[in-house]
Amino acid sequence: MEILAFGVQADEKPLIERAFAGHHEVRCLDVFLNEDTAPIAAGYEAISTSVNADLGARVLELLAAGGTRMVAQRSTGFNNIDLDVAERLGMTVARVSYYSPYAVAEFAWALAMAVNRRIVRASTRTRDFDFRLDGLMGRDMYGRTAGVLGTGKIGEAFARIAHGFGMRLLGWDVAENPACMELGMRYVPKDQLLADSDLVSLHVPLMPETRHLIDAPALKAMRDDAILVNSSRGGLIDTAALVAELREGRFTGVGLDVYEAEAGLFFLDKSLEAIEDDTLARLVTFPNVLVTSHQAYYTVDAVGQIVDATVQNVLDYTEGRRSENVLVPRS
């Protein structure tokens, strides 16, 4: 069987081809799955998609009409997939339930330190042989407080790094993580965490109940000099509300690897086009904001694990097995 893989990055392609070798043929495309590209999948029983694929009702119906019976998403998140429609159409949908949490946690810390120590501004200056230190002063992390919203595997990895810096730890989650508590983390209500933290990092999944978890009141609750980092899902933050706070001169720094309207933008070269998203265009102009294009997971270790799990998901489908990665069918 030949698998059609959408949204494959250049660095990712050899890993995918190598992993599928000896199992199934794979055709890699750099285009992302949406309503316009879905017809390409006609005749392919199984496809693989990236995190920014459109797997809403209309796209799933087009895929099913073309003979697609299995979707293997190369990500942990699946908020882009209409699971009810997939089940109604009799499709199998699988995701990657686990990959290196260190990739994302380490990148979240890279964002935090970059905005704290003004690394991007300093690098731009030195390229112009401007070696002044004005405006580059940061803060020690030692002795300060890190607030971790979501203390699963990635949140725990982030907390361990914070512990290594000598920071106090506050946590918020639906369930307490004993490993985080052993590090000295104290679980508190969200508003208290936001009010008491010098650094706030988001590590919760995007679900209806977590959408705009960081809304206007939550942003108001944060310290004026706090650092905010989001390497999870863009929809966790009300970006318009964040821009409004930034216009007031608030926050030492904001590091965002995700953006709530990133589909159709991230992973693509838009450098020669006018950006119609006024919120994003305004966001990137703030000197204390660093935006990257959903690359926190993008290490050879994590991507290798994602690809291997995706291959296994396809093999499980073809050989009639189920695993914890299967989202549909639900039973």
Residue range 193-246, pLDDT digits in tens:
999 999 999 999 999 999 999 999 999 999 999 999 999 999 999 999 999 999
What pLDDT is recorded for position 228? 98
Q: For residue 17, is pLDDT > 90?
A: yes
pTM metric for this prediction? 0.93
Q: For residue 77, is pLDDT > 90?
A: no
What pLDDT is recorded for position 178? 98
What pLDDT is recorded for position 331? 72
Q: What is the rounded distance in angstroms from the CA atom of residue 299 to the CA atom of residue 197?
A: 29
What pLDDT is recorded for position 4? 98
Structure tokens belonging to residue 220? 């108001």
What are the tens digits of pLDDT across the range 50-73? 988 999 999 999 999 999 999 999
Beta strand segments in 9-80, E: 25-28, 46-49, 70-73
What pLDDT is recorded for position 263? 87
pLDDT category of residue 192 using cuts at 50, 70 and 90 = very high
Q: What is the rounded distance in angstroms from the CA atom of residue 286 to the CA atom of residue 56?
A: 34
C-alpha closest to that of 76 among 217, 181, 205: 205
Is 233 labeled as catalytic in the residue annotation? yes
Annotated catalytic residue: which of 118, 203, 250, 294? Answer: 294
Q: For residue 319, is pLDDT > 90?
A: yes
Write the DSSP symbol of residue 32.
Answer: P
What pLDDT is recorded for position 52? 87
What pLDDT is recorded for position 1? 93
What are the tens digits of pLDDT across the range 231-240? 999 999 999 9
Is 262 labeled as catalytic in the residue annotation? yes
What pLDDT is recorded for position 288? 97
Annotated catalytic residue: which of 12, 156, 245, 262? Answer: 262
Annotated catalytic residue: which of 95, 203, 233, 250? Answer: 233
Q: Which residues contact 253 (CB under 8 A, 6 or more apart)?
A: 112, 114, 115, 116, 227, 228, 288, 289, 290
Q: Where are the alpha helices (DSSP H) in the chain?
A: 13-20, 57-65, 83-88, 101-116, 119-127, 153-165, 178-182, 190-196, 216-221, 239-247, 278-283, 300-318
Q: What is the rounded distance in angstroms from the CA atom of residue 224 to the CA atom of residue 73?
A: 39
Per-residue pLDDT, averaged over 273-277, amounts to: 90
Decide: 108 and 228 in contact? Cβ < 8 Å: no
What pLDDT is recorded for position 330? 86
